[in-house]
Chains A and B, each alone.
Chain A
């Protein structure tokens, strides 16, 4: 079966865009989690200054639209002599934004761990840092995992904003074709299906991770 030139071109572009989307999403998701854990710890356990720093970070990146953040990273930073490629600007923006949301889930989970867990560790001679690292964080991650997974699903969808800093991913590639052929309905329906597939994959992977981390007493298998 031969595809029409329109569809040939569309799928070629969308597949290229899909690769770019994946290349955006994976480092952003991982980076977001790492920053989230770090910032979440600072916000939960830091002393005055450090905590304020963490809170300010979260407030800024949760409080402003991602589009504005991306514009500043891509079009604003050059004024300060800092040039980011479209890809670098997009990933940086996504990591910082995602990290802010993740830090919220992580912080909540860290604060939900009962005092007894600290007492149990400290009575054995654990230092505060050892207690947080070996006892509190492993439990908090399991409590935060649903929220963090949800944030990653959001990230997959807001990664489409990369095209506004000229990083052509799934949405950007599709939009180019749609404009060229003036066939918006078909193109965006297919883009939607691509995202649906991406999210479904992510849901599956997250479920696998949850199963791997499952421990009796922490959620359901």
Chain B
């Protein structure tokens, strides 16, 4: 029985930058609790796709259906609401430089969700605890390590109670010894049933987390399937080849 509605449905999404088609009709569905991993060569359009999903980049064509509602990309209130429902984690963290870890989390709660300061602070405390940074609430981004910044960014996104989380290479800007702490947080999220779409080159995340892999190349989904289908023994998929090359690069 797979008649239940997908949480997110993307159909024929297109985006062109300066006459360069970057997304050439991308379609997929994501069910609640599902985890899609986006992989593929650099410039293939993974970041563009993720940014189109929450309309940080407005797509030129195609449809986005979220929670059974077709998203009207021309309605600003609809966009603002949509972005609250879709959390995003960036490669470069994008923490607000002038706010402490706590206020990075509370500012959206206070200014968008209009929560009173005390409730927002309490929520921030809980979220920081979840990512293991309860004692860093007062520190500013400049005082945090990359791994800590990314964990604050995850806490900040989660505090908005998003229905789906988009992660754009969440560990790519980190020193190797800091990757583990972020991966652990992401794995915990997965275990709790968070719906996610993640672009990553992190082999350990691809194989263990994905229940669906989209291999993107040249603005299209070149290949897709479950890890077993694409990475199973003896299968000669593009995904397999790509992962082999990643493995060689990371010297394994």
Interface, chain A (partner B; CB < 8 A): 116-117, 119-127, 130, 134-135, 138-139, 142, 215-218
A139 to B108, CA, bound (A): 16
Of the candidates A120, A122, A126, A135, the one having the most CB atoms from chain B within 10 angstroms of its own CB is A120
Select one of A119, A126, A217 contacting B94, CB under 8 A: A119
User: Does A127 lie within 8 Å of B143, measured CB to CB?
Assistant: no
User: Does A217 lie within 8 Å of B96, measured CB to CB?
Assistant: no
Q: Which of B155-214 contact A (CB under 8 A)?
A: 156-157, 160
Nearest CB of A to B210, in Å: 23
Nearest CB of A to B113, in Å: 9
B54 at the interface (CB under 8 A from A): yes
A124 to B111, CA, bound (A): 11
The binding surface of chain B is classed by DSSP as mixed
Q: Which residues of B contact A123 (CB under 8 A)?
A: 54, 56, 83, 86-88, 90, 94, 157
User: Does A125 lie within 8 Å of B96, measured CB to CB?
Assistant: no
Nearest CB of B to A76, in Å: 43
Select one of B86, B94, B107 contacting A116, CB under 8 A: B94
Q: Which of B119-154 contact A (CB under 8 A)?
A: 139-143, 153
Q: Which residues of B contact A217 (CB under 8 A)?
A: 97, 140-143
User: Does B140 lie within 8 Å of A124, measured CB to CB?
Assistant: no
Q: Which residues of A contact B98 (CB under 8 A)?
A: 135, 138-139, 142, 215, 218
A188 to B237, CA, bound (A): 87
B75 at the interface (CB under 8 A from A): no
| 21 sampled A-B residue pairs with Cβ under 8 A | A116-B90, A117-B97, A119-B90, A119-B94, A121-B96, A123-B54, A123-B88, A123-B94, A124-B157, A125-B83, A125-B84, A125-B160, A126-B80, A130-B112, A134-B107, A134-B111, A135-B98, A135-B107, A215-B98, A216-B139, A216-B142
Select one of B83, B93, B140 contacting A216, CB under 8 A: B140
Q: Mark B76-112, 1 if CB is under 8 A from A, else 0.
A: 1000110110111010111111100000000110011
